[in-house]
A = this chain, B = another copy of it.
Amino acid sequence: MLKDEVRTKSYRDSIYQNGHLFKDKVVLDVGCGTSILSMFAVKAGAKHVIGVDMSTIIEKAKEIVELNGMSDKITLLQGKMEEVVLPYDKVDIIISEWMGYFLLYESMLDTVLYARDKYLVKDGLIFPDKATIFAAGIEDGDYKEEKIGFWDNVWGFDYTPLKQTAMTEPLVDTVDLKAVVTDPSPIVTLDLYTCTTADLAFRVPYKLKARRSDFVHAIIAWFDIEFSACHKPIRFSTGPHTKYTHWKQTVFYLRDVLTVEEGEEIVGELENKPSEKNHRDLDITISYKLNTDDMHRQASGTGMYKMC
């Protein structure tokens, strides 16, 4: 968190620029870590901040809060959100940095929603309050060959059983903007005021329009985050068109190489759900079909991926 400039600066700006929202308010920091957001909130004028984290990092957070003279303003609690006893029945604002890779992998969003339902006053605020997953198609021939083709001949042996495994593992990596072949397309938006844990499993159609004639080896996903309660809304993106964040992008290789012409569309559905075996893993299914009249280029299929 601390070393990710884009992320921490967005949180800082959204809090510091909105002192009028934080002034004299009770704030809950879900998954507070070293308490950086809690300290931002105190500086912005909060009456009191409660930071909750399961990790032993809370001991370091206490030292840091003490050193920075905020011990009377920040209460730090180690434990599960569902189990800790807060010094207030209700809070005015929830702040949290809960996002994982592909937004939802190992994310703390369910904990934030729990805290919202139990503690947030009516008309209370959530920072951030909106998250949108986007997708696009990319040309990635060289890297796909390196990552996937590698298994065809490993030191003289046939390792294709691991090729199948490699295909099902989405890759978290930075994608060069030049590799993006299609327009980006929003897949799903989560409104943190209204969404429920059920909304974290979804199956949605998508449509990706080719910007140029090229090959498409993979579909990538990323997310944008919005603090819309701010006087002047603050957003940041984790897409390939903007500054590096530690979330990078998530790459899903397709079995087929799609040969697309400018203006053609790749259509399909993207399904995401927590794995039945392990609720922290994600099962992601992406179907794809290239809409073209050219029968030599027609292609469709379905990829099943597991983030674990």
Using CB atoms and an 8 Å cutoff, list the residues of chain A in contact with chain B: 2-3, 8, 12, 34, 36, 39-40, 43, 60, 63-64, 67-68, 150, 154-162, 165
The chain B residue sitting closest to A12, CB to CB, is B155
Instruction: Compute how far the CA of A34 lies from the CA of B150 in the bound complex, rounded to whole angstroms.
Output: 14
Please indicate the chain B residues that have their CB under 8 angstroms from the CB of A157 in the complex: 36, 39, 64, 68
Determine which of B64, B158, B161 lies in contact with A159 in the assembled complex, contact meaning CB atoms within 8 Å: B64
Q: Is the CB of A67 within 8 A of B155?
A: no
The chain B residue sitting closest to A160, CB to CB, is B67
Q: Is the CB of B36 within 8 A of A67?
A: no
Q: Is the CB of A8 within 8 A of B60?
A: no
Please indicate the chain B residues that have their CB under 8 angstroms from the CB of A67 in the complex: 158, 160-161
Please indicate the chain B residues that have their CB under 8 angstroms from the CB of A165 in the complex: 60
Please indicate the chain B residues that have their CB under 8 angstroms from the CB of A36 in the complex: 154-155, 157
Q: Is the CB of B68 within 8 A of A34?
A: no
Please indicate the chain B residues that have their CB under 8 angstroms from the CB of A39 in the complex: 157
The chain B residue sitting closest to A60, CB to CB, is B161
Q: Is the CB of B63 within 8 A of A155?
A: no
